[in-house]
Structures are given as structure tokens and as C-alpha cells.
């Protein structure tokens, strides 16, 4: 990953003037060629090209970095899946682990996951994170918590969970998750299906759901199932497989991205109370090569993704770009790909994808993408010897 000679090759390869063609971004053949998109450009949108970013190592030697969040005034917080949260200064100096995290179930895909700066941080220093919570009988479940970050950035206090997924499971698979805020006091928490897709359709469980609660974990009165008993009242949308990317778009709405099986990664714009189909409909197949369920891509009462990928990109985190440093990326969605390992750039118009670029293929498994206040872009590279890369111009 951190080999300058390879980085130079990537830079040269992508050093092409802004252009757009009618052919899709380079990718392999579909796993399920018989599936057709439900509308034009739901997949394989025309390829775009932008001029190359400069790449620098920002932080070396992180163990499976998973989430990043820039602090007001500079510097950022970064999680490591094994169960750590650290501060990184504006010049890339890495702190010792911040003390005060709850008990974390670190195993399989579980551990310390996303981190976000609370909307009221300037007043109360509250930060938020998602993690695999260890239950008393040593099962793991996705949870979201918040705590107060000390002025010296070394300690969390007043830690409390604001969401705990039910039921817990012994599975090490599909914990999600991201945590994002709208500008009206709502917290969205994305989850995964814990390797049991049927539960994503079960509204009595918070497996395979997008969750919406207040900043302190209460059910907002306008939630789609607010009049139902908990935990259904916490559900915003359902039928999701494993949502590891989420952000609020320029339209003020929640956008999410989820892992499909073999084929069928999806970009969604989840609306309240709606069913996003997993595992009943989708654009992938089982890892065995057999169809998922009845092999359907469309069904009444189930929503279509805005966009899908086959073969998969294995999406991590994502962010909309808005800054002067990369003017040709303005308004675009930047998505981290774990496999094949690249930055995926989507251009949207009227809620549809109209262009796609694959940038920095082979750079490594990108778990998260953070657009910094200065317009640079940080990529969290997941690996035993992972780290953070900084893209600039």
C-alpha cells in the first residue's frame, strides 16, 4: 500500500483531462448477465475521467481503520476496528488510544466501527460512534453510543448507548454501520443483517435496518413506525443487507450504500417506512452461484436502488464532495471500494447517476472517505498495516 513507486504509476494512469464517454467505467463482466436494470443507467453509467490527485501518506500503522471524523478547528478522530479510538492532529500525529470506550466485541467484521462529531459538540463536546457491543453472554450486536471528549482529547466520559440492535447474535458478519445526523436533531444509524437475510424483512427486529432516533436515542414522533412498540418504532427503512456507507446529501436527504452478495451492491436514498428488498429482490446471486430466493430484481412494494454494481465494488464509507480543491468533483459522491480497492466517483442529476469514474484502482481496501474542511480527501485504508492517505491538488 505505502509504496511510492506504485503511487506514481497510479498518478500517471489517471492523468487524463476531464472527459466523459458513452461507455461504462472499466469493470469486469456481470455475475448475473441475465438481470436487466429497471431503468436506464441504474448500473454501468457512462465513464468519466478527472485529473489525478496527489497522494500522500497521512497516517501510517493503523490496524483496520474504520471511521474518521474531522474535528472543528482541525485534526480528526479515527477508529480502529480492534477496539480503539485515536486523535490525529492536523499534521498527522497519532495519539495514544482515547480512554473510556465501552466493552467492544472485536471479532469477524465486528469491533469499533464509525465515529462522528455531534452536532452540538461546540457546546457539549459530545462525539458519537457505532460499535459491536459485547452482551453479557458474549454475543455481539451493533450499537451506537455517545460520550464527552475531554479538552485534552484523551478521555471519554458520560458514555451512553443511544441504540442497541436486537437481537444479538453469535455471528461475526454484517454489523454495518455508519452514524450520520441531519440538521434537525435526528441521528441515522445503519446496520447489517448479521448474516441472516430473512431478518431484514422482520419489523420486530432491528437487523438489516436503517434506524432513526434523536440525539439522545429517543424515537422521533414523525418516525414511520412511531406508533408501534420498540424496536419497530426506531426503524426508518428496512430490507437492507449490510450498510457500511451513509451520508446526508446536498438535497438534505439520507443516502446509503450497501454490500450485495455476489453482485448487487446498491446505492439507495432510503425513504421513511419503505422496504429496500433484501433478501427478496436484488441484482446479485448467492456466493454459490445459485439465485438469491426466487431470483427476482423487482417486486411490488419493494424499492429499486438508485444504482447498483455487478461485479461488486464492496462499498465502505462515502461522502459528497464540495470544495474548490477538486472543482471537477464538485457535487459528486465519492465511495470507498474495498474490492477491487479504488475510489468510485458518481455524478448525480435529478436523483439519478449520470456518470461514474474509478480512481486509484489497486490503492488498497478503502473503508472510509472523509472530505476535510480544506477540500482534501482522506481515505482510510483497511489492512493489518493500514493507514490514512491524503488526496490533494
Shortest distance (Å) from residue 178 CB to Ca ion: 17
Nearest Cα to Cα of residue 308 among 38, 48, 28: 38
Q: Could you say which DSSP state residue 13 is in?
A: H
Query: 79 or 256: whose CB is closer to Ca ion?
Result: 256
Shortest distance (Å) from residue 266 CB to Ca ion: 5
Query: 177 or 297: whose CB is closer to Ca ion?
Result: 297
Please name the residues in contact with 61: beta carbons below 8 A apart, sequence gap of 6 or more: 94, 385, 387
Query: 70 or 193: whose CB is closer to Ca ion?
Result: 193
Residue 286: asked if its preceding bond is cis (omega within 30°), the reply is no
Please name the residues in contact with 271: beta carbons below 8 A apart, sequence gap of 6 or more: 237, 303
Cell numbers that stand for 370 in this block: 472523509
Spatial strand order in the sheet of 307-309: 243-248, 254-258, 265-268, 307-309
Contact 368, 389 (CB under 8 A): no
What is the full DSSP assignment across 321-364? Answer: --SSSSGGGTTPEEEEETTTTEEEEEEEETTEEEEEEEESTTS-
Query: 266 or 368: whose CB is closer to Ca ion?
Result: 266
Could you confirm whether 240 is annotated as catalytic?
Answer: no
For residues 154 and 131, give the distance between their C-alpha atoms in angstroms, rounded to a whole number: 19
Strands 76-80 and 65-70: antiparallel
Q: To which H or E segment does residue 122 belong?
A: helix 121-124
Cell numbers that stand for 241 in this block: 443487507
Residue 279: asked if its preceding bond is cis (omega within 30°), the reply is yes
Shortest distance (Å) from residue 238 CB to Ca ion: 10
Spatial strand order in the sheet of 179-181: 179-181, 186-190, 209-214, 235-238
Residue number, nearest CB to Ca ion:
277
Shortest distance (Å) from residue 303 CB to Ca ion: 7
The one catalytic residue among 174, 186, 240, 259: 174
Query: 53 or 305: whose CB is closer to Ca ion?
Result: 305
Binding site for Ca ion (CB under 5 A): 266, 276-277
Residue 340: asked if its preceding bond is cis (omega within 30°), the reply is yes
Query: 49 or 256: whose CB is closer to Ca ion?
Result: 256
Shortest distance (Å) from residue 268 CB to Ca ion: 7
Shortest distance (Å) from residue 25 CB to Ca ion: 21
Contact 331, 250 (CB under 8 A): yes
Instruction: State the catalytic residues.
Output: 174
Amino acid at each position: 500500500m505505502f509504496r511510492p513507486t506504485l503511487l506514481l504509476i497510479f498518478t500517471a494512469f489517471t492523468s487524463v483531462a476531464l472527459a466523459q464517454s458513452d461507455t461504462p467505467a472499466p469493470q469486469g463482466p456481470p455475475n448475473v448477465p441475465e438481470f436487466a436494470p429497471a431503468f436506464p443507467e441504474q448500473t454501468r453509467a457512462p465513464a468519466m475521467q478527472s485529473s489525478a490527485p496527489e497522494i500522500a501518506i497521512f497516517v501510517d500503522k493503523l490496524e483496520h481503520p474504520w471511521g474518521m471524523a474531522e474535528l472543528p478547528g482541525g485534526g480528526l478522530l479515527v477508529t480502529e476496528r480492534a477496539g480503539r479510538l485515536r486523535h490525529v492532529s492536523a499534521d498527522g500525529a497519532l495519539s495514544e488510544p482515547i480512554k473510556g470506550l465501552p466493552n467492544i466485541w472485536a471479532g469477524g467484521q465486528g469491533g469499533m466501527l464509525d465515529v462522528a462529531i455531534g452536532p452540538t459538540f461546540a457546546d457539549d463536546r459530545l462525539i458519537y460512534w457505532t460499535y459491536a457491543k459485547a452482551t453479557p453472554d458474549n454475543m455481539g450486536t451493533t450499537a451506537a453510543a455517545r460520550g464527552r471528549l475531554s479538552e485534552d482529547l484523551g478521555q471519554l466520559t458520560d458514555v451512553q448507548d443511544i441504540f442497541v440492535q436486537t437481537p444479538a447474535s453469535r455471528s461475526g458478519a454484517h454489523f454495518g454501520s455508519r452514524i450520520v445526523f441531519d440538521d434537525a436533531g435526528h441521528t441515522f444509524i445503519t446496520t447489517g443483517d448479521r448474516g441472516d437475510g430473512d431478518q431484514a424483512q422482520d419489523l420486530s427486529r432491528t437487523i438489516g435496518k436503517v434506524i432513526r432516533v434523536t440525539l439522545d436515542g429517543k424515537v422521533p414522533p414523525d418516525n414511520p413506525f412511531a406508533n408501534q412498540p420498540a424496536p419497530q418504532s426506531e426503524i426508518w427503512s428496512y430490507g437492507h443487507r449490510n450498510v457500511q456507507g451513509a451520508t446526508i446529501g446536498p438535497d438534505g436527504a439520507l443516502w446509503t450504500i450497501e454490500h450485495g452478495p455476489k453482485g448487487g451492491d446498491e446505492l439507495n436514498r432510503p425513504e421513511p417506512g419503505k422496504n429496500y428488498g433484501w433478501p427478496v429482490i436484488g441484482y446479485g446471486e448467492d456466493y454459490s452461484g445459485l439465485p438469491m430466493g426466487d431470483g427476482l430484481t423487482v417486486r411490488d412494494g419493494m424499492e429499486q436502488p438508485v444504482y447498483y454494481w455487478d461485479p461488486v465494488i464492496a462499498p465502505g464509507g462515502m461522502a459528497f464532495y464540495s470544495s474548490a480543491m477538486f472543482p471537477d468533483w464538485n457535487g459528486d459522491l465519492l465511495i470507498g471500494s474495498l474490492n477491487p480497492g479504488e475510489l468510485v466517483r458518481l455524478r448525480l442529476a435529478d436523483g439519478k447517476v449520470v456518470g461514474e469514474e474509478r480512481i486509484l484502482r489497486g490503492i488498497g481496501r478503502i473503508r472510509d472517505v472523509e472530505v476535510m474542511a480544506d477540500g482534501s480527501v482522506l481515505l482510510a485504508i483497511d489492512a493489518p498495516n493500514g493507514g490514512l492517505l491524503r488526496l490533494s491538488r
